[in-house]
Amino acid sequence: MYVTVKLLNGCQQRLTYSIPSSWQLSKPQGAVVTVPLRQRTELALIEEVIEKPTTHYSIKEAITYEPILSEPLYKQFMQRLSAYHALDPVYLYKRLCAFLKQSPEKIETNAPDNTSFTTPLQAGTHLTHEQQHIVDAIAPYITNTTYQPCVLHGVTGSGKTEVYYRLMQHAASLGKAILFLLPEVALAAQFAKLFRARNELNIPIFDFHSATSAPDKRALWQALRTEQPLVAIGVHLPILLPLRHLGIIIIDEEHETGYQEKKHPKINTKEGALLRAATHQIPILLGSATPSIATLHNVNQRGWKLFTLEKRFSGAFPDVKVVKLTPCKEKRAYFWISKELEQAIADRLSKKEQILIFINRRGYSFFVQCSTCGSIVTCNNCSVSLTLHEGNILRCHYCNFSMTLAPEHVCLQCKGTTFIKKGIGTQQVVTIIQQLFPYARIDRADLDATINRKKWQKTIQAFHNQEIDILVGTQTITKGYHFPHVTLVGILWADIQLSMPTYNAAETTLQQLIQVAGRAGRQHPNSTVIVQTMLDHTLYTYLPEERYRDFYAYEAEHRHLLCYPPFVRFAEIELRHSRQEIVEKESAHYADALADHIKKDTATAITILGPAQPPVHKIKNMHIRKIYLKAEKISDLSNLYQTLQAIPWQSTIFFTPNPLTL
DNA sequence: AGCACGCCGACT
DNA sequence: GTCGGCGTGCTC
């Protein structure tokens, strides 16, 4: 038998090989084989079976094939996932197999390790009635292999993890494999360790993400080959694993945008997981304290099952107070700390309780502005302002370009020589609070500190041991940590995220605020969250956790009115080129070509938005333009994109279904 | 994507 | 006369 194959190493040309008849591959399309190529061997994906070798050169014979990658359901899933993202399936196999060839000497040192401070699993063996009810409802879907998306809306501190663990135990007892997904590597590593420590599943638990060492990945691969049941924990990669007898997929923090890959192609792992569950006919559990609007929409419209945990396992809900900051009214020296927050801090300090102060990295970092013309010092390669770091160093968050703000620095716009430093950072907040409370023990935990892992660990440990009274931090502190003695959470400026120019800004702002506020009152009955804002917004009335589902009703009405997802399907087409004129001209042509095709096909209704210059329109000297498409089905949009890919464009073009960020 | 081949400049 | 830079092109 002769087949054409595509090499996984990226070689564009299709090659022909023969397949030994002893393999008994009845349907070889989509199977992964190793083939000889010159002096070495390469992995390849079989494209099609062909009649006879029409060429003069001698055809080599394929060496081996990977049976676990040739499962019909698995192949079907890979096919559907690549079609959804308008990708060549070769790309997906390439990602999965890349580690097989990784050099064994490569030492990974960045494996994060924070286990000691996480939300503990319940010590006892029995569940609350709420928890037991949910486990009992979902377990039969595992037993009977039924596709059923289930949503677990559990308030912060309600014990979602225990529900996950019981369902995992059930699947393991049936000899089934489990996929467990978390939105970032650090969390994945933490959960893997947590589950391993508990040691009641009797099946191996594997990490599978970017920080997993090559030997560990190979050990996982070996386990997959023996088809034994196992748990795979990770962020994106696990959904591509060829797992036999998959029992359930669990997605924690399902609302997080981290499930979409940050670089192109921006594969959406949550949607990939749903596709996989549907293909394998198994249940999938999506858990969050703040489920996404899209997920709740599917509960209403598409028969997803909703389960709720309304009670905290211990402690009580905090009292949420919204305080409006009034800019420069009396020129208070400490504008960023309202009188209410200052009093609350004093009160908690006197009771020897702990305080968390949050600021949002993005909005709060410092930038430098020319005092003559008002222009902001920006990166030479990217269209973003440079942020000021210690030692007067300006750095770009996108390309890592850095320069020193020298005293002789001259404004590129007006040749001015004086500059103002604007914004607020954790260091400044620490200084302000230290002045207000000279005897309080204050430290900070922000992104700069994360880079220095040892210092970060020490700070978290000290806060945990109550050697620090007030911890000032950025978002990094939100997830996965458990500080029982925190009774006051202060959010310095809640509005920043809300001003993001995305259709889901209100949703992500509220989710973030609730997650942060949820750090308070894990053990104490009387705790407070103070949310400082500059603007009034209906959003803030939904801050108490028990009102989250009312927010859904409010937000869904807006989205429906404005024709935004989830009431319509969105896709993004991004064009990149080093020359601005080209990308500008070509994106206009692209939009015209789209319009032409839409006109020809009257059966499908598609709306074009743009082309537009996105907020960050230049990265590493590449100019970017974006076109957004709306339709009823993503497949209509990916088909249209595929059609236009036949045209030779000068720009690099990317297709993203359901983009979650700009 | 690799990796060979190959055609020119700095060494023993 | 040999080692090695990385530019071009082929892989069944």
Nucleotides of C under 7 A from a protein CB: 11-12
Q: Does the pLDDT value for residue A31 go beyond 50?
A: yes
Query: What pLDDT, in 10s, does the model give residues A603-647?
Result: 788 988 878 888 788 888 888 999 999 999 999 999 999 999 888
Q: Can you tell me the distance from the alpha carbon of A487 to that of A527, in angstroms, rounded to the nearest whole number?
A: 4
Query: What pLDDT, in 10s, does the model give residues A53-96?
Result: 777 788 899 998 888 888 899 999 999 999 999 999 999 999 88
Pairing of strands A442-445, A305-309: unpaired
Q: Do the beta carbons of residue A44 and residue A33 sit within 8 Å?
A: yes
Task: Estimate the crossing angle of helix A634-644 against helix A580-600, to 10 degrees.
Answer: 120
Q: Do the beta carbons of residue A314 and residue A522 sit within 8 Å?
A: yes
Q: What pLDDT sits at residue A3? A: 92
pTM, whole model, 2 decimals? 0.89
Query: What pLDDT, in 10s, does the model give residues A205-238?
Result: 999 988 888 888 888 988 998 989 999 999 999 9
- Which nucleotide, over all strands, has the C1' atom closest to the CA of A59? C12
Angle at the Cα of A441 from the Cα atoms of A435 and A445, rounded to 5 degrees: 95
Question: Distance from residue A579 (CA) to nucleotide B10 (C1'), in Å?
Answer: 39
Structure tokens, A489: 């959470």
Q: What pLDDT sits at residue A124? A: 55
Residues facing strand B, Cβ within 7 A: A 7, 9-13, 38-40
pLDDT band, very low/low/confident/very high, at A153 (cuts 50, 70, 90): very high
Query: What pLDDT, in 10s, does the model give residues A402-447?
Result: 788 788 888 877 888 888 776 667 777 888 888 888 998 998 887 6
Query: What pLDDT, in 10s, does the model give residues A507-516?
Result: 999 999 998 8
Name the range with the highest mean pLDDT among A93-97, A195-199, A605-609, A653-657: A653-657
Q: What is the mean pLDDT of residues A547-563?
A: 92
- Which nucleotide, over all strands, has the C1' atom closest to the CA of A37? C11
CB < 7 A to strand C: residues 15-74, chain A: 15-17, 35-38, 55, 57-60
**How many Cβ atoms sit within 10 Å of the Cβ of residue A31?**
22
pLDDT band, very low/low/confident/very high, at A162 (cuts 50, 70, 90): very high
Q: Does the pLDDT value for residue A5 go beyond 90?
A: yes
Of A598, A559, A596, A590, nearest in space to A573 by CA: A590
| Structure-token match 């297709």, residue found | A655
Question: Distance from residue A215 (CA) to nucleotide C8 (C1'), in Å?
Answer: 37
Angle at the Cα of A276 from the Cα atoms of A271 and A282, rounded to 5 degrees: 115
Query: What pLDDT, in 10s, does the model give residues A299-321?
Result: 999 999 999 999 887 778 888 89
* Run of H or E residues at A459: helix A453-464
If one compares A105 and A23, the residue with the highest pLDDT of the two is A23
Name the range with the highest mean pLDDT among A7-16, A358-367, A606-615: A7-16
Q: Does the pLDDT value for residue A398 go beyond 70?
A: no
DSSP annotation of A376 reads B
- Which nucleotide, over all strands, has the C1' atom closest to the CA of A13? C11
Question: Distance from residue A13 (CA) to nucleotide C9 (C1'), in Å?
Answer: 13
Q: Do the beta carbons of residue A202 and residue A195 sit within 8 Å?
A: no
Query: What pLDDT, in 10s, does the model give residues A593-612?
Result: 999 998 888 778 898 887 88
CB < 7 A to strand C: residues 565-584, chain A: none
Angle at the Cα of A498 from the Cα atoms of A492 and A500, rounded to 5 degrees: 120
Q: Can you tell me the distance from the alpha carbon of A42 to that of A543, in angstroms, rounded to the nearest whole number?
A: 55
Average pLDDT, chain A: 85
Q: What is the mean pLDDT of residues A21-40?
A: 87
Q: Can you tell me the distance from the alpha carbon of A469 to that of A485, in angstroms, rounded to the nearest whole number?
A: 10
Q: What pLDDT sits at residue A81? A: 96
Question: Distance from residue A40 (CA) to nucleotide C3 (C1'), in Å?
Answer: 26
Q: What is the mean pLDDT of residues A175-197?
A: 92
What are the φ and ψ backbone dihedral angles of A16, each rounded to 5 degrees?
A: -110, 135
Q: Does the pLDDT value for residue A105 go beyond 50?
A: no
Q: How many residues does chain A have?
A: 662
The two counts, helices (H) then strands (E), for chain A are 17, 28
Q: What is the mean pLDDT of residues A557-575?
A: 92
For chain A, what percent of residues have pLDDT higher than 70?
A: 90
Task: Estimate the crossing angle of helix A548-562 against helix A505-517, to 10 degrees.
Answer: 170
Q: Do the beta carbons of residue A377 and residue A401 sit within 8 Å?
A: no
If one compares A450 and A488, the residue with the highest pLDDT of the two is A488
Task: Estimate the crossing angle of helix A129-143 against helix A160-173, to 10 degrees.
Answer: 30
Question: Distance from residue A103 (CA) to nucleotide C1 (C1'), in Å?
Answer: 37
Pairing of strands A569-577, A622-631: antiparallel
Question: Distance from residue A16 (CA) to nucleotide C12 (C1'), in Å?
Answer: 5
Distances (CA, A) of A60 to A10, A27, A64, A457: 20, 20, 13, 55
Q: Do the beta carbons of residue A414 and residue A372 sit within 8 Å?
A: yes
What is A607-649 written as a DSSP string? EEEEEE--SS-EETTEEEEEEEEEES-HHHHHHHHHHHTTS--
Q: What pLDDT sits at residue A210? A: 84
Distances (CA, A) of A484 to A193, A315, A410: 21, 9, 51
Structure tokens, A553: 């009703």
Q: What pLDDT sits at residue A246? A: 96
Q: What pLDDT sits at residue A287? A: 96
Helix (H, G, I), strand (E, B) or coil at A20: coil
- Which nucleotide, over all strands, has the C1' atom closest to the CA of A36? C12
- Which nucleotide, over all strands, has the C1' atom closest to the CA of A4? C12
Q: Can you tell me the distance from the alpha carbon of A337 to that of A318, in angstroms, rounded to the nearest whole number?
A: 20
Of A316, A288, A317, A320, nearest in space to A540 by CA: A320
